[in-house]
Amino acid sequence: MKRIIVAITGATGVIYGIRLLEVLRDCGVESHLILSGQAKDNIRYETERSVEDVEGLASVVHDECNLAASISSGSFKTGGMVIAPCS
């Protein structure tokens, strides 16, 4: 199974990251999500979704402050990382 890390930032356009999570889920790709604090704010401002709804789209959710998260390791095999939105 492929794994993709998705980081959603506080830039405007969080819907791009949300839509990516939906597509990855529908394609059976394991997604690892990191949301910045500002991304959580923008989800509330820019969409009608809750942060919990967005987190529910991911296979695994990592706290932005967890420096010991599995995805922090160089041995964590992944197909790549997408930062969306990215400005």
Q: Which domains does the chain have, with CATH numbers?
A: 3-83 (3.40.50.1950)
The first and second tokens of residue 47, run together, are 């969409």
User: Which pLDDT does position 52 carry in this prediction?
Assistant: 98
Q: Where are the alpha helices (DSSP H) in the chain?
A: 14-26, 37-46, 51-55
Nearest of 68, 39, 69 to residue 54 by alpha carbon: 39
Query: What digits encode the pLDDT tens for the residues 6-60?
Result: 999 989 999 999 999 999 999 999 999 999 999 999 999 999 999 999 999 999 9
Q: Which residue in the block uniquely carries the two structure tokens 């942060």? A: 51
DSSP class of residue 2 equals -
N residues, the chain: 87
